[in-house]
Structure 1
Amino acid sequence: MTGPVRRPAGALALVAAAAGALVAVVLGFLTFGAQATVAPDGVPVAVAAPPGIAQRIAAHGGGQLAWTVATPAEARQLLEDKKVYGVLELGPGPVATVVTSGAVNPAGTQVAQQALTGAAAALAGPPKQEVRHPVSLAGRTAPLAASALAWIGALVAGLGLTQLAKRTGRVPGAGARFAQVVGVGVLLTAVVAGFFALWDPALPLDAGVLGFVFLAATAFAAVQAGLLRLLGLRAMAVLGPLYLVAPAVAGQVPELLDPAYRALLWSWTPFRFSAEGLRSLLQGVPDAPDVTTGLWVLGALLAAGLLVTLWPSAREQAEPHPADRVVEVGVH
C-alpha cells in the first residue's frame, strides 16, 4: 500500500506565491485598472441655442462629448430620461444656463458640468447653474452603497449557511433555503433603511424605495445561494471579486470607461442595475427608464436564483415525503 505523495515544502510555497500573484493580477484588472483608464468618450450632452450658435458649440469638446441639439423643453426631457448628463441653454439674453440633475449618475454629471461650463464661458461668460432634483452627498453615495451592502450581506449569509451545513452534515431543505433568501432580503432592507435614515433623514423611505431594495437584496441572495449550492466554496472565486468590482465599475458611467471594461464588466454587472434604479427612486423619478430596467433584470435574477436554489436534488427527490413515510406503531 502506497502512502500519500509528499511534495517539497519549497514547491508548495512557490505555488502559493504564484496563486497570490495571479489573484493580484485579476483584481488589478478588475478594480484599479478600470479606475486608472477612465477617460471621457462620447459623453452625451444637449444644447438648446439658436441654430448658428448651437453648431459652434457642438464643435466644442471633440470626441469627448456627444452633442444633441434640441429645444429647451426637449433638452430638459432628455435629461429627465437620463439620455444626457447635462444641458446647456443659450437664449437671446447674454446669460447661459447649465442644467444638471441629481437623479443622474454623479460621475457623468461632473464631466458634463465641467464641459458645459467651459463651452458657455467661451461664448457668454460664466453661466448660471441649475440643478433638477437636488441631491445631498449622502444621496449621491446611497444607491451604490445600498447595492454593495446588499451583495456582501447576502454573501456572508449564504456562506454561513454553507459552512454550518458542512459542519453539521445536514443538508438544508428547500424550505430552509427559501427562508434564508427571504430572511436576508427583509433584514438587509431594514439595515439599508437604517443607514439611509442615519445618513440623511430627507431621503425617502417609501414603499417604492424599500420594495426596490428588497428586490435587489433577495435577487442577490438567491443568485449567491444557487451558486454556492452548485459549486460550494469554489463559488467564492466568482462572488468575492464581484463585490470589489462594484465601486470601480458600477459607480461609473459607460462613456468614462475603457471600451474593454464597458463591454466585459459594466454591461452585465448586477450592481449598476440596482444602483441606477435606486438613484432615480430616491430622487423622485419613478418613471425613469433605469427603474423599469432594474425591475426586469433583478426580477430575472431572483427567478433564476430561486430556480437553482429550490430545485430538489436527486437525493431530495429520492426521499419520500414525510406524509408518505411508514410510521412504526408499537402495540403494548
Structure 2
Amino acid sequence: MRTALVTAVAGAVVAFLLGLLTFGVQATVHPHDVPLAVVAPPPIAERVRAADSAEVDIRSVDAAEARTLLADKEVYGVLEISPGQATIRLNPAVNPSGTQVAQQVLTGVAQGAGLPVKTETLAVTAAERTAPLAASALLWVGGMVAGLLFVVLKGRRFRLLSALTTSVLVVGAVIGLLAWWGVTFGAAAITFMFAVAVSFALLQAGLFKHLGIRAMGVLGLLYLMAPAVAGQVPELLNPAYKAVLWSWTPFRFSTEGLRSLMYDGSISTEWWVFGGIALVGLVLLLAGKEAQPDRPDGVVDVGVDQADGLPRPERQHTA
C-alpha cells in the first residue's frame, strides 16, 4: 500500500515538473518589448512611435543605424518608409520567432499609414529555419546515447577516445541528414558544430563516468526542457522562464551561434561557452574513479575474500 502511494505521487510530481519546464514555456509565450526600428520622415516617425506598446519597443533611427542594428541582431526587423512606399527588412540570422513577430507588427504599422508594403529578406526554407535547433538537439542525443551504451556495455578504457570519435561521427551524420533536407554549411559552421559536439560528448562522458547510468536523470532532463526555450527569443518568454532556463541553457548558444554562421555572421561568446563546457567535461573525465555498478543480485561487493571465513551475504547463493 505504501509503495503504491509513493510511486503514484512520484509519477504525478514528475509529470507536473516536466510540464512546467517544457510545455509551460510554449503555453506562456507572449511578446513584450520586442525591439524594432523604423526609418521615416519626422511627422510619420511621430505617428509610428505612438504605436509603441508593452509588446514592442519601436526605435526611430536613420537608415544607416537601422541596418547596423539589424546586422548586429539588436532589432528583429526594420521598417523603412519613403513617399508612397514601405519596406520591411529582415535578417535571416535572427531567430525566426522574433522575425515573425516583427513582420506582423511592422506590416500592421505600414498598413495603418495607408502604404503598400514589400518585404526584403533572404529566402529561408523551413529546413533552414529548423536546422540550428535540430542540429543542437541531435548532437546532444548522439553523445548521450554513446555515453549510455559505454556504461551499459561495461566499457572501462578509452572513454575519451569514444567521446571524440562519437563527436566526429555524429557531426557527419547531422551534416548528411541536413544536406538531405537541402541545408548546407560553410567551414565555420561545421567547425562550430564539431566544437559543440565535442563539448557535449566530453561533459556527458564525464557525468557517466562518475554517476554511471544515473547520469541519465540529469542529461535526459536537460534534453527535455532545454530545446523548448532554445528556439524562442527572450522577448517572447515569460520572465520566469527567461531567467530560470533561457539564460543558461547551452542549446540556446549552439542554436543561435549556428544560425549566425549559416548566414555569414560571426560569433564570440558561443566559443567561450562551449570551450568552458569542454573543459569541465575533460576535468570530470580525467579526475576520480569510475562509478561502481551494482551487482545483478543486488549485493554490494565490499572486497572481503570468501577465504577469510566470514559469512556470506544472505542473498548470495552457492552454485
Match of 1:119 in 2: 109
- Which of 237, 242, 254 is 1:257 aligned to? 237
Q: Give the deviation of 1:160 after TM superposition.
A: 1.0
Cα deviation per residue 1:53-78 (whole Å; 9 max; x = unaligned)?
22321221411011222111211111
**1:28 and 2:23 aligned:** no
Which residue of the partner structure matches residue 255 of structure 2?
Answer: 275
Unaligned 5+ runs, structure 1: 1-9, 316-332
Deviations 1:245-283 (A, max 9, x none): 233210000000000000000000110100111011112
Root-mean-square deviation (CA, aligned residues, Å) is 1.6
Structure 2: gaps of 5 or more residues: 292-319
Partner Cα distance (2:64, 2:243) in 1: 33
Partner residue, 1:300: 276
Q: Which residue of 2 aligns with 1:163?
A: 152
Give the stretch that moved more between structures: 255-264 or 62-71. 62-71
Q: Does 1:77 align with 2:68?
A: yes
2:118 counterpart residue number: 128
Secondary structure at the aligned position of 1:124 is classed as: coil
Q: Which residue of 2 aligns with 1:238?
A: 218
1:139 to 101, 105, 128: 128
- Greater helix fraction, Structure 1 or Structure 2: 1
User: Contact between 2:144 and 2:201, CA under 8 Å: does it hold in 1?
Assistant: yes
Shift of 1:293: 1.6
Corresponding residue number in structure 1 for 2:171: 189
Which moves more between the two structures, 142-151 or 44-53?
44-53
Match of 1:180 among 162, 175, 179: 162
Equivalent residue number for residue 96 of structure 2: 106
One-letter amino acid of the structure 1 residue matched with residue 88 of structure 2: V
Question: Partner of 1:58 in structure 2?
Answer: 49
Structure 2: distance between partners of 1:239 and 1:153: 12
Secondary structure of the structure 1 residue equivalent to 2:54: helix
3-state DSSP class of the match of 1:62?
A: coil
Q: Give 1:49's aligned amino acid.
A: A
Identity %: 52
Offset at 1:312? 4.7
1:220-264 residue CA offsets vs partner (Å, 9 max, x unmatched): 111112222222222222211211223321000000000000000
CA distance in 2, matches of 1:18, 1:157: 32
Matches for 1:284-299 after TM superposition, within 5 Å: 284-285=264-265, 287=266, 291-299=267-275
Q: 1:314 offset after TM fit, Å?
A: 9.4
Give the conservation status (yes or no) of the 8 Å contact 1:61–1:115. no
Q: Partner of 1:63: helix, strand, or coil?
A: coil
1:134 deviation in Å? 2.7
Q: 1:140 Cα shift?
A: 0.4
1:189-215 CA deviation, whole Å, 9 max, x = no partner?
Answer: 101110121001xx3333212111111
The answer on whether the counterparts of 1:147 and 1:271 sit within 8 Å (CA) in structure 2 is yes
The separation in 2 between residues aligned to 1:164 and 1:126, in whole angstroms, is: 64
Q: Which amino acid aligns with 2:42?
A: P
Tell whether the 8 Å contact from 2:84 to 2:116 is kept in structure 1 after alignment: no
Conservation of the 8 A alpha-carbon contact between 2:175 and 2:184:
no
Q: Could you tell me how far 1:284 is from its partner in structure 2?
A: 2.1
CA deviation digits over 1:271-309, x for unaligned, max 9?
010011101111222x2xxx2121111111111111111
Check whether the contact 1:117–1:126 (CA below 8 A) recurs between aligned residues.
no
CA distance, structure 1, for counterparts of residue 57 and residue 14 of structure 2? 37
2:85 alignment partner in structure 1 = 95
Aligned residues: 291
CA distance in 2 between partners of 1:110 and 1:205 (Å): 24
For 1:114 and 1:61, the matched residues in 2 are separated by: 14
Partner of 1:6: none
User: Which residue of structure 2 lines up, in the alignment, with residue 46 of structure 1?
Assistant: 37
Instruction: Please point out which of 137, 154, 164 is paired with 2:143.
Output: 154
The residue identity in structure 2 corresponding to 1:111 is V
Q: Which amino acid aligns with 1:311?
A: A
Partner of 2:306: none
Query: What letter matches 1:59 in structure 2?
Result: A
Specify whether residues 73 and 124 from structure 1 end up closer, same or farther in structure 2 by C-alpha distance, changes over 3 A only: farther
